[in-house]
Amino acid sequence: MKQISLTLVCLLTGLSIHDTIAQETDSVMPEVVTDMRYARGSTMAFGRIKSAKIAIGNSIIERGFCWSENPNPTIEDNVTKTTISHEGVIYWLQDLNPSTKYYMRAYAKSDKGVVGYGDVIKFYTIPKGNISYSYNNGGDNTANTRINNAATKACEIFNNLTSITKHFNIGYSAGTPTADCNYKDEPWMNMGANASYQRTGTIMHEMQHGLGLVPYETQWFKNILRERVDGDGRGTGHWLGERVSAFLDFWDNTTGSQLNGDYQHMWPYGINGAHEDDGSDALYFANAMLGQALGEDGLEHHSKSFADPCYIFEQEDTVKYYLKNESEERGLYTSYLIPTQNGVLKWFPLSAEEAIANDSAAWYITFTPENQYYQLRNAATGQYLTYSIGFKTVAREELTANEDFHLMKGRVNVGSDKEANRGYWIIHPSSNLKPYCIQANANGAVGAVSFNISNSAVAQRWLILTPDQMRTYETAAFNSLRQNLSDYLNQIKTLAETPHSEEENGVDNALRNALTNAEQSSTTATTTSELIILKKQIEEAFYQFLCHVAATDNTKPFDLTYLIKNPGLDALDGWSGNPTLNYSCGEFYQTTFDFYQLLRNLPGGNYKFCAQGFQRPGSSSNSYNDFINGTNNVNAVIYSANKTHLLAHIASEVQSTKLGGSEVTVGGNKYMPNDMNSASNYFSKALYENEVISSVANDDGNLRIGIKSTSMPSSYWVIFDNFRLYFYGSMSEDQIAQNIPSVVKAQPTPLYYNLQGCQVKHPAKGIYIREGKKIIVK
C-alpha cells in the first residue's frame, strides 16, 4: 500500500519516488540547533540544545547529544540523554578520554524514527587533574569518615573536570569554627568540629583558597584581573577574565556574565558557607570548572605556573595563518611577522595581498592535546618557531619542548564592531610566574620579554588571521584610518585658530598648505601605509608650527590634552603607577605613590598642566577641623617637570547640599566626598581644580606630568581625574598666571558662611560668619 500511495503521489506531482521519499522524510525530521557554547573537563563535557522543532502533526520523542572522535558524530557513535537541570537543560557527556579531540552535536528523534542533527562543536578534553589529599584522622570516627568521604569526592570532581595538580594536607582542628586553608605549593587545610562543614562543598571551597583565591600574592589579590581594589589594597569586585565569563554564560544559560567576589570569596558557586552547600552536581561541577577557568585566565594555582594552558585559538591544521602585532607603532596597520633566511623574526611591511602571496608570512598552527600547547611552522621554510634564549625558527625532525607555546587570548578588542579581533600572547611555557613571550620591538625587531598580563601590553600580543580575516581587517583598518585622519585634520585646523603670533614668518601658510595637501591626498589614497604617512606629515607640520608661534591670550592657549594618553582615566594605559581605577577616577589610599606620564618630543615653551583632584590628610573630621582652623596637612602635589603645587585639600570645596554618592557630614551641615563615586560627582561639578605651570627648555624636549605623595599615613586619601595640558609658547609664566588665582593654596583661605550656615564663595556686602566670628563685608 505504501508503494502504491507513493506511485500515485509521483504521478500527480511529477516527482520521482526518491524525491518523494526525501520530502516525506524532511517533513518528519526534527530541526535541531546546537547551542555552540559548551563546557569541558578531562573526562566530562556539557552541552545545551538551543532549539528542537518538528512539523505540526509530528512529535519529538528523544533529545540528546552524540559525540565521536570523527568530525560528524551520529547516534550510531556515542549518545547521552543524561541531563542536569540548571537554568534549562544541560546534557552531560561522561567517560571521555582526557587530552583528546572530540566532536559533539545535539540531536533529536521524531516519532517516525527520523533523526535531525544540529551543528558540530569541535572540542578538546584537558589532561586529567591530580588533586590529592592526606588527612591526619584527628577527629572521632564519625568526623573522620565524613571528612575523608568529602575530601575523596572533592578530589574526584576536581580531577575529572580540571587539569590542576596539587596535594592538600588536611588536619582536624577542633578549635577551628568552620574550616580554613592557606595558599602554598602544598597547602594546609584545617577542618573544624562543626559537622555541617565536614562536607564536599566546604572541602572544595577551601581547595579554591589553596588554588589562589587569597588576599595576597595572586591575581585574585592584584587589580589587573579584578574590577578594583578595596580600601586595604586587596582585589575585589568582578573578575575580568573571559574564560570564567564564558563558562558562566554557558552554565547559567545567559550572556554577559561576570564572576564577583571580595578579597577571598567568589560568587556564584563559591560555596561560601554550609548554607550554600546544597550537595548538587550543578553546584560542585560549577565550582570545579570555575577553578579551571580562573587558571586559564591567569590565576596562579601555584608558584610554578602563571596560567593553565588550554585550547583557546580554534585552529585547523591545514589553514595558513598570518600574524600581526596589536601595537599601532609596531605594524598593526602595515606589517606581518616573518622569519628571515637565518630564522630571525621580523615584523615586515606587507599589504594583505602581498602577505597572502608570500608564504614567509604564513604559518601553520597545530595543537597537542596531551600538554595543551601549540606549535607554529612557517609555510615557506617548513621551520618551527622555537625558544632558546630568544625566539627564532629552526628545522626540526622531531619536536622538543622548545617548540611548544602557550597561546593566551587578550581581553580587549582590536578594531570595532564585527571586524573586531582579539590578539594572543605567544608564550614559551616555563615553571615560573614570569615566562618569556614574543614582543614586537622598534624598527621591525622582535624580542623575548617577560610576560605581562595587563591590557596595556599591546606589543606582546599578536592577531592571528586567516586570509579572509586579513582582507576584512585591512578594509576596516583603511576606513578607520581615513576617518581618524579626517578627524585629526579637523582638530589641527581648530587648534591653528588659537589666538597666536608668528615668531617666524610663513608658519601659518606652511601649516595651511600641509593641511590642504593632506586633505586632497587622503581622497586618493588606497593603502593604510599612505594614510599613516599623511598623518605623520601633518604631525610634523603642526609640530613645526608650534615651535614658531606663541599664544597671545592667556585664557585661550593651545589645548594639547590629546598628547596625554587616557587623560580621562578610562584606562591606565600610558601611565606609570597603579591606582585603584573606578568611576573614571584614580585613587591611592594610605600608600605612597608617583602617578605620572612622560610626554616626549614637545616644542619648547611654557605649559600649564591641570587636573581635578584632592587629598584628604587623615580622617574626614580631623582633616576638616584642621583645615578650618588654618592647618593644611596636604603633602600630595601635582607636578610638571620640576614645578610642583600642593593638591587641593578635600575641605576646600565642602558643599552645603549633597552632590551624590557616599558623602560625609562635617562641621554640622557641610558635605565632603567619602568614596570614589561621590568624588566623581564633585569632579563633574568642576570642583577641586589644580594647575601647575612649567616649561620645556628646547624643542624636541620631554615633560613629565603627574601627581605624587611621599607620605600617606593612616586615612590619607588622594583621588584625581581629568588631566589637561595647555601650551603657551614663549608667553611668560607671569603672563600665563595673570588674573588667574591659584586654585591650590599652601594655606586655606578662611571660609565665609551666611547667617543660615551656607558657604558663600564670593560674599557680597553683608554680615557673614568667618572662623566662628561675625564680620561685615563692605
The residue to which cell 582579539 is assigned: 422
Shared-domain flag, residues 151 and 270: yes
For the record, the C-alpha cell of 266 comes out as: 567568589
Shared-domain flag, residues 117 and 45: yes
Q: How far, CA to CA in Å, does 748 sit from each of 600, 626, 637, 673, 682?
A: 35, 10, 15, 18, 19
528-545 pLDDT, tens per residue? Answer: 889 999 999 999 999 999
Answer yes or no: is pLDDT of 231 > 70: no
**Tally: H helices and E strands in the chain:** 13, 48
Answer yes or no: is pLDDT of 7 > 80: no
Is residue 530 domain-resident? Answer: yes
Is residue 303 domain-resident? Answer: no
Is residue 305 domain-resident? Answer: no
Answer yes or no: is pLDDT of 315 > 70: yes
Position 476 confidence tier, pLDDT thresholds 50, 70, 90? confident
At 767 the pLDDT is 62
Q: What is the mean pLDDT of the chain?
A: 91
Shared-domain flag, residues 759 and 691: no
Is residue 302 domain-resident? Answer: no
Answer yes or no: is pLDDT of 723 > 60: yes
**Residue 750 DSSP label:** P
CATH of the domain at 103: 2.60.40.10
Is residue 14 domain-resident? Answer: no
Write the DSSP string, 204-222: HHHHHHHTT-SSSSSTTTS
Nearest to 139 by CA among 197, 97, 184: 197
CATH of the domain at 707: 2.60.120
Kind of pairing, strands 689-696 and 605-616? antiparallel
At 3 the pLDDT is 42
Answer yes or no: is pLDDT of 49 > 50: yes
Shared-domain flag, residues 111 and 191: no
3-state SS track over 94-161: CCCCCCCEEEEEEEEEECCCCEEECCCEEEECCCCCEEEEEECCCCCHHHHHHHHHHHHHHHHHHHHH
Answer yes or no: is pLDDT of 761 > 90: no
**Domain end marker among 403, 432, 465:** 465
Q: CA-CA distance, 14 to 19, in Å (whole number)?
A: 10
Which residues make beta-bridge pairs with 53?
A: 31
Shared-domain flag, residues 291 and 247: yes
Q: Is the pTM of this model over 0.85?
A: no
Answer yes or no: is pLDDT of 20 > 50: no
Percent of the chain with pLDDT over 90: 82
Position 560 confidence tier, pLDDT thresholds 50, 70, 90? very high
How many domains are there within the chain? 6
CATH of the domain at 409: 2.80.10.50
Shared-domain flag, residues 248 and 366: no
Shared-domain flag, residues 535 and 644: no
Contact call for residues 9 and 21 (beta carbons, < 8 A)? no
Q: Compute the average pLDDT of residues 253-277.
A: 96
Q: Compute the average pLDDT of residues 505-513.
A: 95
Q: Compute the average pLDDT of residues 12-19.
A: 49
132-148 pLDDT, tens per residue? Answer: 999 999 999 999 999 99
CB neighbourhood size of 773 (10 A): 8
386-432 pLDDT, tens per residue? Answer: 999 899 999 999 999 999 999 999 999 997 766 689 999 999 999 89
Q: CA-CA distance, 361 to 378, in Å (whole number)?
A: 8
At 255 the pLDDT is 96
**Domain end marker among 411, 441, 465:** 465
Percent of the chain with pLDDT over 70: 91
**Domain end marker among 72, 97, 124:** 124
CATH of the domain at 521: 1.20.1270.90
Answer yes or no: is pLDDT of 754 > 60: no
Is residue 556 domain-resident? Answer: no
Shared-domain flag, residues 158 and 267: yes
Is residue 8 domain-resident? Answer: no
Position 641 confidence tier, pLDDT thresholds 50, 70, 90? very high
Shared-domain flag, residues 444 and 525: no
Shared-domain flag, residues 384 and 435: yes
Shared-domain flag, residues 111 and 52: yes
Domain range for 489 is 471-549
Shared-domain flag, residues 200 and 215: yes
Is residue 307 domain-resident? Answer: no
Strands (E) across 230-382 are located at 235-239, 260-261, 266-267, 320-325, 335-339, 345-349, 362-368, 373-378
Mapped onto helix, strand or coil, the DSSP state of residue 348 is strand
Position 21 confidence tier, pLDDT thresholds 50, 70, 90? very low
